[in-house]
Every structure is written in structure tokens, then in C-alpha cells.
Structure 1
Amino acid sequence: MLAIPAVPDVPDVPDGARPRWSVMIPVHDCAGYLALALPEVLAQLGDRDDAEVVVVDDASTDDPGAVVARLGQGRVQYRPNPGHLGAIGTFNRCLTLAQGELVHLLHGDDTVLPGFYPATEAALADPAAVAAVCRVRDVDADGGPLHTTRSYRHGTGVWCDALESLALSNRVRAPGVVVRRSAYEAVGGFRTDLPHAADWDMWTRLAAHGPVVFVDEVLACYRRHAASDTSTRVRSGANVRERVTVVGVVLGYLPPARRAPLARRAYAYAAVFAARTALQQVRAGRLPGAARQLREALRCLALIPRGLPRPP
């Protein structure tokens, strides 16, 4: 049985009172990064009466509430969780709390760049579009550039092969995704049984539900740092093992005839991903992590001849 929680409808509000934007910022022990993220969000939306900005705190020990009080200009709500819910539980609480038509989940250690909200709002002018996705720059703990995600089409427009592309690999970064709240209500929340790949599953589910618009501009930054959950899973190889599990889930959103050939490609992508990660680990001097990534790459290669997704 799928562990997909429902996203409740927004209660009825008076005409014109429902915000256009909900910027939901889940945080856990990243108050310093939150202080970097809030000013740009407010620079773009702070003068609008139709935008809400909400910091949802998952039992942080570094007082993000003080950051909100200092930098929020009276425009930012601070909503602590009722105890420690974990990342996915916090994401789902963000969806429940969001009142706006367009929802942006901006993780507390990520940032938006100038022009993000105007560009994604324009991309979602067609009410049929369920989400907008922009290019994102990966940065290190200090904000130094590491990598920039690809252009999946030239110029802004509907990403025609979004479903198959996302079924192969998680090609987008969370800070670059804006979703219509009605789409979240239709497809449900983040899966609680995929704690490290619930975002990949969500983006694929949304692409199966309706058109995704690709914004061909770099408008957000995704932060990679040693304290992040991603770094911990790289050291153990869990990042690749869950990737294989998720392939078996997301390919279920495609027509049956497409699943086997795409599964072979997805396992090949997973092997390449693991090998590249191993090389990054070697360059960083993390040899045990590199060895684990290479071992997972070999396991992915062994799955390719079968051409069938492993059951979740």
C-alpha cells in the first residue's frame, strides 16, 4: 500500500483573501542559512499583499525564530512543529499549512536568486500547468559554485518529456520547483516510506498528472554541505540503494510498455551517478565513501540485463 498522505483542501476563505503565493520554508538546525535565504524572498515578495512566507521549524536547536524576528519585517510567520517530525513530515506539514495557489517549498539551507518568483509565476499563467521548474546552481557550504543543472528545453515552455526524464533520474532540485496547490491536493503529499527520495517521487507523480513548465534560467541555489543528510547517505552508499528502490516506484507512473526499456536506462544512469560520486569522493579524500559508491555502481550494472524495475 502506498504511503501517500492526503493534502487537505484549503478551508473556504473570503473572495480575494486567498494568497497567490505560499513560500514554505522547512528548517532544522540551519538558522545561519535561513538568514541568507529570507532577504531575497522578501525582496521579491515582501511588498505583495497576496504572498505568505512561513518558516516551519522541525525542533531546531539554533533558534530560527530569532532569525524570523530579526529579518522577517513582520511579513514572515514562524510555525514550530509539535515535536520532531523529520524532513518528510515537515514537508507535508508545510503543504497542509500553505494557503496560497502557488506553493514553493524552499529548504532552509537553499536560496532563490533575483527574478525567481516573477519568472515561475509567469510560467504558470496557464492554469493547466501543474508545476514550474527552473535551472538550479549547486553550491558548497560557503556558497561557492559546484554545478548547474541542465537545460531540458531551449527557452521557457512546456517540458514535453518531463515524465520519462524524471522517471529515469531526479533531474531537478527542490528549491527550483513551484507547484500549484490544487495539484498537491490531487496527487497527495510526499511519500513517508521514501525518506530520502520522496521529492523525486513527487516530481514524477506531478509530471504524470499534468504539464510541467521548464523555466530555462538559473534562478535558485541548492546547498551541498557535510552536515546535510545527502552527504551522510553518500558515505554509506544508501543514496544509490534508495535510488534503485525509487526506480521501481516511479516507473509505475508510466505506461507498462515503456517500463522495461526505461528501467534499463535508469539502472545505467544510477551506475554512472554512483561512479561520478565515487570520483568526487576520491577528490575530496573520502576513500571509504568512494569504495561504497563503486560497489553500488557494480550492483546497478548487474540489474541492467533484467530490464525490469525491482519492486518497491
Structure 2
Amino acid sequence: MKPWLTVVIPVHDGERWLGETFDSLVAQSSSGIEYLVVDSSPGDGTARLSSSYSDRLDLHILRRPDLGHWRAKTNFGFAQARAEHVAMLHQDDIWLPGRAAHLKAWLADTPQAAMHLHPSQVIDASGRAIGIWRSPLPSGNAPLEPGLLLRKLMVQNFIAVPAPVIRRDAFMAVGGIRDDLWYTGDWDLYLKIARHGDTVYHADVLTGFRVHGQSMTVSGSRDAADFEAQMRIVLAAHADFLPAAARAGILRKAEASIRVNTGLAAASRGSASALLRTFLAILSLGPHLPSFLHDTRLIDRVLPRLRAGLIG
């Protein structure tokens, strides 16, 4: 039977957390989902671990050592997908109980939506829940107001990677994930999808997004110039699609968000002065500060990292 959902899991030496990821999928007790594990590992440990779940999941292991990063592996996996809807799941993230049932109901109710979103629980390296990452969007079962997602998302990426479910034809139509955006490839994708079709935002917290010291975001942000450039590339690519009347205000908050993100990255590397610069960047917004905090979900993003010891 044709699956109703394809989940692409890009992996590379994923043995540390991948078992927990698969366990969360087995616990869904839902049929009709295919899982494509796109494995670039040099050894066979990840493939062996994945294979041990093939009797409980419709799981297919695609060995692709030539695909060196998550963007290429995800694009490849989505191109192979048999379902009309696709989702990403990284090797250190999890699904929370009941997610499959919720997704199936949403897709049956609003199959034409280009993307469905929901909040994510933030978990630490041990799997402990340390926060909730929500979006500054109204929740419900109807598509968002046209243009709202684009306007909010331009200020800051507030979508955790395991949360979206995307119509496969929409993903292919917008060109998938850019190879050159190691940090902001998902953000760029969501902005493209926001312009392509409707999005529905649901209030249910259904995935676990793991923050830890070995994550690509933490390790990659050590190159401060490249880290900042990744965000500016996306901002430049989409700024012209903003409504003219609102563009200046949105871009002002987006610039402040970049300064905050780079400051927090520096603080995570032990720079005490970076925290002061971050605080001053926030204060510079003046009357725009409340909407900035709402749109960036700054508290949702920072508190879990403080609890996990990744800042300070």
C-alpha cells in the first residue's frame, strides 16, 4: 500500500541517540508510514542499529556516503518518497506519544495545506524536558491568514526541524533545501513554502527537539562570520517578498535578531561581553521590543539552553 507519510532521517554516525529516535517511532503504533534512513556513515554501526528496527517499522536504509551533509540527504530522501506528505527527523530528535495519530487527522482534514506546524518540546542530551518551543502564530485547524507566516518568520526561524509536515509536491516545487545553507537551510525552506501555499499551525506539542554541545548549530557557530552570513543570505533572499508598508519594521527586527543570535553564539563560547552586547541589541528596539520578543520566541529558545548549560 502507498504510505500516507514519508519520514526522512538523515544520519551520520548516529548510534548515540538514534535508538531513542526509533523507539519514539515504534511507540506510535501507526501503520502507513515509511521511514527512509539516508546514511552517510563511513562504518556500518548506524546501519546495523537501523536494521534492528526493520521488523517494527517500514524502514528503508539508503547508504549514501557521497552525500556529505543533512541538506543533500534530505533532498535525496524526499525525492525518493512515495507518500504525498513528507517530514524530516534528525538522528537526535524524537516524536512524542500520539504524533502520528494527530498528523493523520490533520492531513485528512486539510490535505491541500502546503505545511502543517506545531510546537516542540526542547530536550537535553539525556532526554530531559527543559522547555517548550512555540511559534508566534494563532493555532487552529484552518490555514493561517495569507502572508502572516512570511511576515513573522522573516524576523526569526521559530520552527524546530522535526515539527513541519510538508506536501511533497510543494517541497519539490520550491527547489528543496539549498546546499550552501548549513545552518539556515530549513529556515529558507519554510520561507519558500510560506509563499507557495497555505500553512496550518496546531497547538499540540508533538516532537522533541534536542539541544546539546555536539549539535551542528553549536559546533558550526564557532565560525562567527560564517554563522552571521548564513542568516544574512536568507534575509536578502526573501526581503523583497515582504509587503512594502511593513518591510522596514520587519527588517529592523530581523537585523536585531541576527545580532542577538550571533551574541548568544559567542556567549556559548564563553564570551561574557557578548551577553552585554546581546542585551543592548534588544534594548535598542525601544517600543518594538514587545513584538520582537513575541516574534522571535527568544525566551522559549534561550531558557532551555541555559538549563542545559549551553550558555554562560
- Could you state the TM-score of these two structures normalised by the residue count of structure 1? 0.80
Moved more, 249-258 or 196-205: 249-258
Matched, 1:159 2:147: no
Alignment partner, residue 308 of structure 1? none
Alignment partner, residue 310 of structure 1? none
Matched, 1:103 2:86: yes
Alignment partner, residue 266 of structure 1? 254
Deviations 1:75-107 (A, max 9, x none): 311111152431211111111111111101111
Task: Please report how far the alpha carbon of residue 72 of structure 1 lies from its aligned counterpart in structure 2 after TM superposition.
Answer: 2.6
Q: Give the AA of the match of 1:18.
A: K
Matched, 1:71 2:53: yes
Q: Give the AA of the match of 1:40.
A: S
Which of the residues 132, 148, 155 maps onto 1:168? 155
Q: Give the AA of the match of 2:192.
A: R
Matched, 1:228 2:212: no
Q: Give the AA of the match of 1:128.
A: Q
Matched, 1:31 2:7: no
Distance change in 2, residues 1:155/1:64 (3 Å): same
SS of alignment partner, residue 90 of structure 1: helix
Matched, 1:44 2:22: no
Task: Please report how far the alpha carbon of residue 254 of structure 1 lies from its aligned counterpart in structure 2 after TM superposition.
Answer: 2.7
Q: Give the AA of the match of 1:233.
A: G
The separation in 1 between residues aligned to 2:279 and 2:188, in whole angstroms, is 21
Task: Please report how far the alpha carbon of residue 257 of structure 1 lies from its aligned counterpart in structure 2 after TM superposition.
Answer: 4.5
Distance change in 2, residues 1:154/1:183 (3 Å): closer
Moved more, 148-157 or 161-170: 148-157
The separation in 2 between residues aligned to 1:248 and 1:291, in whole angstroms, is 28
Which of the residues 174, 178, 181 maps onto 1:187? 174
Task: Please report how far the alpha carbon of residue 201 of structure 1 lies from its aligned counterpart in structure 2 after TM superposition.
Answer: 0.4
SS of alignment partner, residue 114 of structure 1: coil
CA contact (8 A) 2:114 2:197 kept: yes
Distance change in 2, residues 1:250/1:180 (3 Å): same
SS of alignment partner, residue 8 of structure 2: strand
SS of alignment partner, residue 158 of structure 2: coil
Task: Please report how far the alpha carbon of residue 27 of structure 1 lies from its aligned counterpart in structure 2 after TM superposition.
Answer: 0.6
Task: Please report how far the alpha carbon of residue 296 of structure 1 lies from its aligned counterpart in structure 2 after TM superposition.
Answer: 8.3
Alignment partner, residue 10 of structure 1? none
Q: Give the AA of the match of 2:36.
A: V
Alignment partner, residue 103 of structure 2? 120
Task: Please report how far the alpha carbon of residue 38 of structure 1 lies from its aligned counterpart in structure 2 after TM superposition.
Answer: 0.9
Matched, 1:129 2:113: yes
CA contact (8 A) 2:140 2:200 kept: no
Aligned pairs for 1:243-282 (under 5 A) are 243-277=231-265, 281=268
Alignment partner, residue 134 of structure 2? 150
Identity of matched residues, %: 30
Task: Please report how far the alpha carbon of residue 40 of structure 1 lies from its aligned counterpart in structure 2 after TM superposition.
Answer: 2.1
Q: Give the AA of the match of 1:168.
A: V
Matched, 1:18 2:6: no
Task: Please report how far the alpha carbon of residue 56 of structure 1 lies from its aligned counterpart in structure 2 after TM superposition.
Answer: 0.9
Deviations 1:31-81 (A, max 9, x none): 2211101122133255x2x32111110225461111122223163111111
CA contact (8 A) 2:118 2:134 kept: no
CA contact (8 A) 1:244 1:300 kept: no
Deviations 1:211-235 (A, max 9, x none): 1111101110111121111111333
Distance change in 2, residues 1:43/1:61 (3 Å): same
Deviations 1:230-285 (A, max 9, x none): 11133332433422332112323334444333211211222334445555x3xxxx
Task: Please report how far the alpha carbon of residue 20 of structure 1 lies from its aligned counterpart in structure 2 after TM superposition.
Answer: 0.9
Distance change in 2, residues 1:262/1:114 (3 Å): same
SS of alignment partner, residue 26 of structure 1: strand
Alignment partner, residue 306 of structure 1? none
Alignment partner, residue 53 of structure 1? 35
The separation in 2 between residues aligned to 1:83 and 1:27, in whole angstroms, is 13
The separation in 2 between residues aligned to 1:103 and 1:154, in whole angstroms, is 21
RMSD: 2.8
The separation in 2 between residues aligned to 1:155 and 1:275, in whole angstroms, is 35
CA contact (8 A) 2:40 2:64 kept: yes
Unaligned runs of 5+ in 2: 285-312
SS of alignment partner, residue 76 of structure 1: strand
